Structure 1
Amino acid sequence: MQLLVIRHGLAGDREEFAFTGRPDSERPLTKEGRVKMRRAAAGLARIVPDLDLIATSPLVRAVQTAEVVADAFGGMDLTIVDELSPEHAPDDLLPWLRSHDPGTVIAVVGHDPHLGFLVGWLLTGRHESFVEMKKGAACLLEFDDPPAAGGATLRWAMQPKELRMLRKAR
Structure 2
Amino acid sequence: MVRGPAPEESPLAPETKEKTDAGQKTGRWPYELCFLRHGIAVTRGGGAFPDDSKRPLTPEGKKKMKEIAQGLLRLGFEVDWVVSSPLVRAVETSEIIADSLGRNVSMDFCDALRPGGSAEEVIAFLARHSSRRRVLIVGHEPDLSALAARLIGAGRNSNLAFKKGGCCLIAFGEFPPKTPGELIWWLTPRVLRKLA
TM-score, L = length of structure 1: 0.89
Query: 1:80: which partner in 2?
Result: 109
- For 1:70, what is the secondary structure of its paired residue? helix
The aligned counterpart of 1:20 is 48
How far residue 102 of structure 1 moved from its aligned partner, in angstroms, is 5.9
Q: Does structure 1 retain, via aligned residues, the 8 Å contact 2:85–2:139?
A: yes
For the residue of structure 2 that corresponds to 1:124, the secondary structure is coil
What amino acid does structure 2 have at the position aligned with 1:10? Answer: I
- 1:154 matched to 2:180? The reply is no
Structure-1 separation of matches of 2:82 and 2:132: 15
Q: Structure 1 107/132 Cα, relative in aligned 2: closer, same or farther at 3 Å?
A: same
- On the 8 A contact 1:121/1:128 being kept in 2, the answer is no
The separation in 2 between residues aligned to 1:138 and 1:34, in whole angstroms, is: 16
Higher normalized helix content (fraction of residues) = 1
- Report the aligned-residue RMSD: 1.8
Aligned equivalent of 1:130:
159
Tell me which of 146, 160, 170 is aligned to 1:117. Answer: 146
> What is the count of residue pairs matched by the alignment?
165
Q: How far does the alpha carbon of each residue in 1:62-111 deviate from its partner, in whole angstroms, 9 at most, with x for none? A: 00000000011114232111111112122221111212336700000000
Deviation at 1:150, TM superposition (A): 5.5
| Cα pair distance change 1:117/1:145, threshold 3 Å | same
- TM-score, normalised on structure 2? 0.78
Query: Identity of counterpart residues, as a percentage?
Result: 36
Q: Any conservation in 1 of the 2:80–2:134 contact (CA below 8 Å)?
A: yes
Does structure 2 conserve the Cα–Cα contact (< 8 Å) formed by 1:121 and 1:150?
A: no
Residues 141/59 of structure 1: CA separation in 2 closer, same or farther (3 Å cut)? same
Q: CA deviation at 1:2?
A: 0.1
- Tell me which structure has the larger Cα radius of gyration: 2
In structure 2, the gaps of 5 or more residues are: 1-30
Counterpart code for 1:124: G
Summarize the alignment of residues 1-170 of structure 1 with structure 2, pairs less than 5 Å apart. 1-16=31-46, 19-20=47-48, 22-74=50-102, 75-101=104-130, 104-124=133-153, 126-148=155-177, 151-167=180-196
Contact 1:125 1:150 in 2 (8 A): no
Cα distance, 1:149 vs structure 2: 7.4
CA contact (8 A) 1:125 1:149 kept: no
8 A contact 2:83–2:135 mirrored in 1: yes
